[in-house]
Structure 1
Amino acid sequence: MAKHEQMINYHLYVHPLDLRELKKDIWNDEPVPGKLTINQKKFDIDVVYRGSHIRKLAKKSYNISFYKPSNYKGKKEIHLNAEYKDPSMIRNKLSLDFFADIGVLSPESQYIFLQLNGRQEGIYLELESVDEHFLKRRSLPDGSIFYAVDGDANFSLISELDDETKKSLLLGYEKKYGKDSDDHYLQELIFIINTLLKGEFEKEIVHHLDVEKYLRWLAGVVLTQNYDGFVHNYALYRNGDTGLFEIIPWDYDATWGRDVNGKYMQEDYVRIEGFNTLTARLLDVDSFRKKYQGLLMEFLSNQFTVEYMKPKVEQLFNLLHPYILMDPYKKDQVEKFKEEPNLILQFIELRNDYLRSKINKLD
């Protein structure tokens, strides 16, 4: 059975002068104060726009930090995503839940209906922040967390942005949590990926990376077909007990048959081998490639099927359907919204067939 989901009402109040300040420069990362009411409980918060290209869209996404009380259900910070470009509004949540189902650390998410200063802003997906509280809520060992903030987080020595040698191995990353000394471990990982010969790499990489969890993540990116996911849209968590890096997905609305602009994406757009330097190095090792092949076959037979995903798709669609007409940014797109569950299920069927036809490339 799919987990029961429900819509929660969030009432956000920002003083009109502060709201004007927020709207004046959408690229300003300085938050403004506000008050957020959830289930009749009031919070003093800071609020700011979030995202890069999505800041230009009519329906803004928000980052909210709690300071009195200092957290909400153990979360110090949350992200409210407008899901503006996804006509279904369910792809991001569907993806993050799918990653959790296949054994990958993944943020929790829930739908909320937002009112701002009494005006309906519509449906939002609340995303859990990947930070020290993310670790505590899961009783995970303390460790460092790095966000991949642009295409330079490609596990390579060469910049994705200008094809030049990187001036720093930390380019493309922003440390969300950890000590200065933790930078060294990420630099060491990238150095090993790019300099060791095949035999040495096979022996050494397992002391720096949780290879199986990376391969599970890789399978998830390939199955959901998130083209940006290989060099972006992820966080790295270094487990302080094991010393191994794990990879966490983030921002997965461009999936299940749609691209970042909401346009239809053919089921053969992303190849079975995926992309990025680390992926190429791992799949060049026979034992790792066989492991990946086995995981893919397992997921193609179980989780990535119409039978498994249909109840999840339908539950999320049924949850959002009554609220679409109340969303000022989405109410004119109801007919398109209604077509999306079938498109998603059709994509799963086509993508499953396509990947099965290419599985022997991993022999």
Structure 2
Amino acid sequence: MLKYEIFINPKWLRKLNKDIWEDELVPAELRIGENRYAVKISYRGNVIRDKKKKSYRIVFDKPSIVDGAHEIILNAEYIDVTMSRNKLSFDLFDRIGVIAPHSKHVLLYINGYSKGIYLEIESFDQYLLEKRNLPDGPIIYATNNRANFSLLTKKKELKTRLSQGYTLKYGNSEDLAELEKFIAMINTLSNEDFENEIPKVLDVDQYLKWVAGVVCTQNYDGFIHNYALYKNGKTQLYEISPWDHDGTWGRNIRGRLMEYDYVPFTGYNTLTARLLHLTPFKRKYKDILSKILENDFNSKVQEPIIHDLFETLKPYMSIDPYITSNPDALEQEKEVIFDFIRKRNAYIKEELTTFIS
């Protein structure tokens, strides 16, 4: 496991800690092996910021690009005793053909003090597109639960603007205006017009693969939050990618157990509901989801992946000052995940038998 060492002047560290909700970046140095990089750093996240083990946003300064990335995320994974649910989710999405951030575990030290095991996650930005040889295009983050593709908020209040819940990561104001047109279209077209027009602005197959991934991992927040929209510059179609998938694989974002059938196999949000109301899209979804259950999301495929990942973490757990779990606890949680996979797979298969009448 790679060792990341961050050195930060105490005055800048005090500035970070003065207001943990401040997003302003401060200067630091990052050392990875023999390499040294001038970087800027801030805390990140919502639930995690007031925890003892915090997550960080790292932006490369000199040089500005390292291994094809301008910025990375170091996620504490503090509430997840396995420190792995995000990675397992991203890897599943990648496997089924959905653009997802790549990730790896690292050991983090700040000013010589161990901060434990962290998950390094790619930033979903224009540099990721370039690194993967994807066409340039705007990227918009769904940053709160108003990003539900609806005219209404979660509380059934009329939105003051249709781009509520979204933050522009890469692009310009015109891209947000185009997003508002897309959301208006989703909510106002007749069923016949929607069926004809939606494939002209949305990569439907790719979107349904994403729905299937969220459904399999059972990310309760994933349909209205924690995703990125990317408008492919070549096809001019919207594509969608996952973000923050720690409340998954049988646990919610607080780490509590969730019943295997808590999230419906059809998911939820306005766009998904409209697609799955129409028979041609229902057939596509059933075919996509059935193949994923058969080839990707099942015990035979996932258990060896999870076992190997957990084995790589075990030797380093004792040096993480913030976690109370140990290798035995990791083994117990592995069985929780295995049980979830078996039950979730069987539940979805059963639901699909009566999906299309």
Distance in 2 (alpha carbons) for counterparts of 1:67 and 1:250: 24
* Greater relative contact order (Cα < 8 A, sep 6+): 1
Equivalent residues in 2 for 1:139-288, closer than 5 Å: 139-160=133-154, 162-288=155-281
Q: Secondary structure at the match of 1:325?
A: helix
CA contact under 8 A between 1:100 and 1:106: conserved in structure 2? yes
1:56 corresponds, among 27, 44, 50, to 50
TM-score with structure 2 length normalisation?
0.98
Show CA shifts across 1:94-128 (max 9, x none): 00000010110111111110000000000000010
2:95 corresponds, among 98, 101, 108, to 101
- Matched to 1:19, the amino acid is L
- Offset of residue 331 of structure 1: 4.5
Q: Secondary structure at the match of 2:128?
A: helix
- Offset of residue 215 of structure 1: 0.3
CA contact under 8 A between 2:81 and 2:325: conserved in structure 1? no
TM-score with structure 1 length normalisation?
0.96
CA contact under 8 A between 2:314 and 2:326: conserved in structure 1? no
Distance in 2 (alpha carbons) for counterparts of 1:93 and 1:70: 26
Moved more, 236-245 or 353-362: 353-362
Show CA shifts across 1:269-310 (max 9, x none): 111111000000000110101110111111111111111011
Give the match for residue 23 of structure 1: 17
Moved more, 274-283 or 182-191: 182-191
Distance in 1 (alpha carbons) for counterparts of 2:284 and 2:106: 39
Q: Secondary structure at the match of 1:362?
A: coil
Distance in 2 (alpha carbons) for counterparts of 1:150 and 1:332: 31
1:343 corresponds, among 333, 336, 341, to 336
Q: Secondary structure at the match of 1:228?
A: coil
What is the aligned-residue identity percentage? 48
- Offset of residue 197 of structure 1: 0.5
- Structure 1: which 4+ aligned runs deviate by more than 4 Å? 331-334
Distance in 1 (alpha carbons) for counterparts of 2:11 and 2:45: 23
Q: Secondary structure at the match of 2:300?
A: helix
Distance in 1 (alpha carbons) for counterparts of 2:351 and 2:180: 34
- Offset of residue 333 of structure 1: 4.5
- Tell me the C-alpha RMSD between the 2 structures: 1.0
Aligned pair count reads 356
Unaligned runs of 5+ in 1: 1-6
1:360 corresponds, among 329, 353, 356, to 353
- Matched to 2:301, the amino acid is Y
Distance in 2 (alpha carbons) for counterparts of 1:332 and 1:220: 28
Distance in 1 (alpha carbons) for counterparts of 2:259 and 2:315: 30
2:68 corresponds, among 70, 74, 79, to 74
